[in-house]
Structure 1
């Protein structure tokens, strides 16, 4: 299924046609979640791959065998992508399911389910820079042209997967009121991976002890994931993801946006952000603490 130049529009949101169809998107909206499912929900480039690795290791008590032998898209498939019905239908036991869909589209399917949902959000300045670079290498996404143009689309919510603002606000509101939804930030994981993994494992009722935790931390470090072919997407053919134009796991740092944004872009972004997030209690860490005064 190539369809590299196809864009699917679903509920006024654009999705890359290479991995989505109208049927697969409708399948997601009517999916029958099981109470033992774990759902990882994110906006793109917000720590999805990292959380897939964390949950895989937690569920396997720190044993890295699955992480080293099965691609992440097979062990934690995207609910809305065209292959998921076949993969999820064949999965026995508790499932790990990934989604980039906004909450409003999955609300009906999740209603009444005891499935545990982990929502990961990242500061949007780093998200937009990472997403821009991903567009350069992913041939199933539109050519991004200039960063200035891409930033406009991101702030307007016209990029693939829609508005970051709507996505984050929609999911985090559920985390405030539902016990089976956990919100954690990318920055929290970066600054305290051990504490984050303990928090996640407790939420999943799989608390890790001793070597289980040590092994999990070792195998979900950025360097370990960057070198793991089951995680770093180097298994994806060159005609679909051009690895000569960049790495899927590029830097992963907090505050790298400063190397891309101009002062005018910072002002423009901050104005839109303050308007869109008015009344929202979420706060984000925009730079690493040790770098704030540089």
Structure 2
């Protein structure tokens, strides 16, 4: 893993990306989805691992306990577009999944998703998180993850986030693009991180019904308690502590999982700048986020 160097951002078809997600582009664009595949899509640091874990338990938790204790989540739910020297490519991991359904994660903006997911009419779960908390989480993630560009100082990171100069592009474009897609792709379940924090059981019940599963109230209750943030944070199979490119001593992969932590980072001035900018970019009144609960 010594060959891993922090990548440069560059413009790729109008979206800022790095080589770790474009090197295998042609290959993963030709990914062959199956009708029962489930794609978990998010902007980075919006609750991806949490929802991946919930889905994995919904489908396989009751039947295969050794899966939960011996296979890290990033192998159970491969990251489709990732290609890092020395590690198996996400697409190859996805191709080789033996589960049915296959659970696959992506951070791609909607226009970059391989077309076979639409052709096969796959179910897609999109998780969105309010921009302020998402920014803070992304900042700490960039500090500890060698696969990401340097985070730099908080003030410059803040500016870069507003400008969309982040891996996978602008938060605004991402959440809006996926929100619009609901109009043409009926099998898209759009959920909010804040709702999941506030009412984990209720959100799992909605997810379960979207997936056509009939989980009992008791099963949902059990599942809700096992996916509480503090339990997952301690779980080596969920917390990414087994991945050498991340330095948990700088900041843990699973940091707080809270709503409203942005208040510990934003200055009053930054908050005003942010709110002004947000009003300009978030023009769809049907897409509403909560920055506290």
Counterpart Cα distance in 2 of 1:254 and 1:192: 13
Deviations 1:24-64 (A, max 9, x none): 22223232211000000000010001000110011125457
SS in structure 1 of the partner of residue 41 of structure 2: strand
SS in structure 1 of the partner of residue 119 of structure 2: coil
CA contact (8 A) 2:5 2:147 kept: yes
CA shift for structure 1 position 110 = 2.9
Instruction: Report which stretch shifted further, 172-181 or 221-230.
Output: 172-181
SS in structure 2 of the partner of residue 58 of structure 1: helix
With the length of structure 2 as denominator, give the TM-score of the two structures: 0.91
Corresponding pairs, count:
284
Q: Unpaired runs of 5+ in structure 2?
A: 84-88
Alignment-derived partner of residue 86 in structure 2: none
Root-mean-square deviation over aligned CA pairs: 1.8
Counterpart Cα distance in 2 of 1:3 and 1:12: 26
Counterpart Cα distance in 2 of 1:116 and 1:250: 29
Counterpart Cα distance in 2 of 1:45 and 1:259: 17
Counterpart Cα distance in 2 of 1:200 and 1:279: 24
Counterpart Cα distance in 2 of 1:215 and 1:25: 39
Matched, 1:265 2:270: yes
Alignment-derived partner of residue 247 in structure 1: 252
Instruction: Report which stretch shifted further, 79-88 or 46-55.
Output: 79-88
Change (3 A) 1:12 1:177: closer
Counterpart Cα distance in 2 of 1:46 and 1:132: 12
Alignment-derived partner of residue 127 in structure 1: 134
Alignment-derived partner of residue 144 in structure 1: 151
Instruction: Report which stretch shifted further, 175-184 or 124-133.
Output: 175-184
Alignment-derived partner of residue 5 in structure 1: 6
SS in structure 2 of the partner of residue 243 of structure 1: coil
Alignment-derived partner of residue 91 in structure 2: 85
CA shift for structure 1 position 206 = 1.6
SS in structure 2 of the partner of residue 171 of structure 1: helix
4+ residue runs over 6 A deviation: none
Counterpart Cα distance in 1 of 2:233 and 2:168: 25
Alignment-derived partner of residue 47 in structure 1: 47
CA shift for structure 1 position 13 = 2.9
Q: Unpaired runs of 5+ in structure 1?
A: 289-294
Counterpart Cα distance in 2 of 1:281 and 1:145: 34
CA contact (8 A) 2:9 2:18 kept: yes
Counterpart Cα distance in 2 of 1:85 and 1:136: 26
CA shift for structure 1 position 107 = 6.4
